[in-house]
Amino acid sequence: MTELSARAILDRLVAFPTVSRDSNLDLVDWVEDYLSGFGVSARRVYDATGKKAALYANIGPEVDGGIVLSGHTDVVPVDGQDWSTDPFTVTERGGKLYGRGTCDMKGFDALALAMVPVALASDLKRPLQIALSYDEEVGCIGAPPMIDDMVTHLPRAAAAIIGEPTMLRPVTGHNASIMIRIHVQGYEVHSSKLPEGVSAIHEAGRILAWVNDCNAAIQAETPDALSALFDPPFTTAHVGIIEGGTAHNITAKDCYLNVGFRSPAGDNPERHAAALEAFLDTLHATLRQRHPQAGISYARNFGVPGLKPEAEGTAEAIIRRLTGDNGTHVVTYGTEAGQFQERGYSAVVCGPGDIAQAHQPDEWIAVDQFQKGEALLRRVVGTLV
């Protein structure tokens, strides 16, 4: 296999339009071929459709104590965004590399893959492991089955570095989140006969009122010391999508909405989600009394665990030693790091680029950050010798 530079790998990865709604198998095929060219075998973990897969590999000895470099392969859509360049071609201009995923997070993926020949040329005493997931952007769906499979088939690593963009700072805490999809079912009548019907939209308004009351109650609490590190230092409940109704003069038969909770590491979104579900169950019973066709159903779209700072955590210690950064860094977005931690890995989030550039039109990563990220990962490999 001809060794490719990190930049050349980035060019190849960005060229695959792996938007979460589409398959990522073309990219996975390429990565597997790339690894195979160095004599490295990879294992796939498919989703239920067979149209997407995670991929992971072990480079070096089959012993415990290695380091995982973890990233995701999917990107957010470019639909409706005003790009000045082709989003699926890396364009260098003014010290920046433009393209969908350059920052979030194919930049890190490329750097991780560029470490394969570096690791193979080193006398590794412990392995380097690379793990690439799918569907991170739609709720961190693909990582859990991948990590579970890694636990079964790989030596247990001592640390997992999740390379989301942090400007190469060690992030040791991030939010947890839960999303609940709700369907309010009403009973249609002409609006002139309003008392005889049940408006799903009106009843959804009760849920919105509950969300507002929930936020007010949470914000009145005194944050614990761990949550106080976050901004905001409390859980938030949010309705981002609501839709329903058919005409201005008909009571709405259906209304759909999502309620999401985001919690800092000191809180647990489960307590708030459970309180909402109890409220929905009560409201459902009330609506059924009004009409047998009315009611509420709900389901959890996803739940992403938070990342909690670890006392004397191995992953944190490695990155702090290699970067010299001993600051306290937490973020309010979610990553797959909490899913690694939940399964017993010491985890830290650290990668090149600024999260402010993620998901934006003309997404970019600074060339300087990309180069510093490569230098950092070379040092990471050096700790395994």
> What was the pLDDT predicted at 19?
97
The pLDDT tens digits of the residues spanning 142-175 come to: 999 999 999 999 999 999 999 999 999 999 999 9
Question: What pLDDT, in 10s, does the model give residues 77-134?
Answer: 999 999 999 999 999 999 999 999 999 999 999 999 999 999 999 999 999 999 999 9
Nearest residue to 128 (alpha-carbon basis) of 374, 377, 328: 377
Q: Is 362 a catalytic residue?
A: no
What's the Rg (C-alpha) of the chain?
Answer: 23
Q: Given a cut of 80, is residue 1 above it in pLDDT?
A: no
Beta-bridge partners for 67: 128, 159
pLDDT band for position 3 (50/70/90)? confident
In this structure, the strands spanning 330-331 and 173-174 are parallel
The yes-or-no verdict on residue 319 having pLDDT over 80 is yes
Selected catalytic residue, list 74, 104, 109, 316: 74
User: Residue 162 in contact with residue 335, Cβ under 8 Å?
Assistant: yes
The overall average pLDDT reported for the chain is: 97
Q: Which residues contact 181 (CB under 8 A, 6 or more apart)?
A: 256, 257, 258, 298, 299, 300, 301
Active site residue 74: yes
Q: Measured between alpha carbons, how far is 201 from 243 in angstroms, rounded to an integer? A: 8
Beta-ladder partners of 92: 97
Beta strands at 53-59 and 67-72: parallel, antiparallel or unpaired:
unpaired
Residue 356 DSSP one-character state: G
The answer to whether 365 and 353 have CB atoms below 8 angstroms apart is yes
- For residue range 14-65, list pLDDT tens digits in order: 999 999 999 999 999 999 999 999 999 999 999 999 999 999 999 999 999 9
**Is it the case that residue 383 has pLDDT exceeding 90?**
yes
pLDDT digits (tens, 9 = 90+) for 241-271: 999 999 999 999 999 999 999 999 899 999 9
Q: Cα–Cα distance between 380 and 263 in angstroms, integer?
A: 31
pLDDT value, residue 94: 97
- Structure-block tokens of residue 170: 């060690």
pLDDT above 70 coverage of the chain, percent? 100
Task: Find the catalytic residue in 32, 104, 109, 136.
Answer: 136
pTM: 0.92
Contacts 24+ apart (CB under 8 A), 237-240: 237/211, 237/261, 237/272, 237/276, 238/211, 238/262, 239/207, 239/208, 239/211
- 304: phi then psi, degrees, rounded to nearest 5: -115, 120
Q: What is the pLDDT of residue 301?
A: 87
Q: Which of these, 358, 308, 360, 304, lies nearest to 334 by C-alpha position?
A: 304
With CA atoms as reference, report the closest residue to 60 among 145, 2, 127, 152.
127
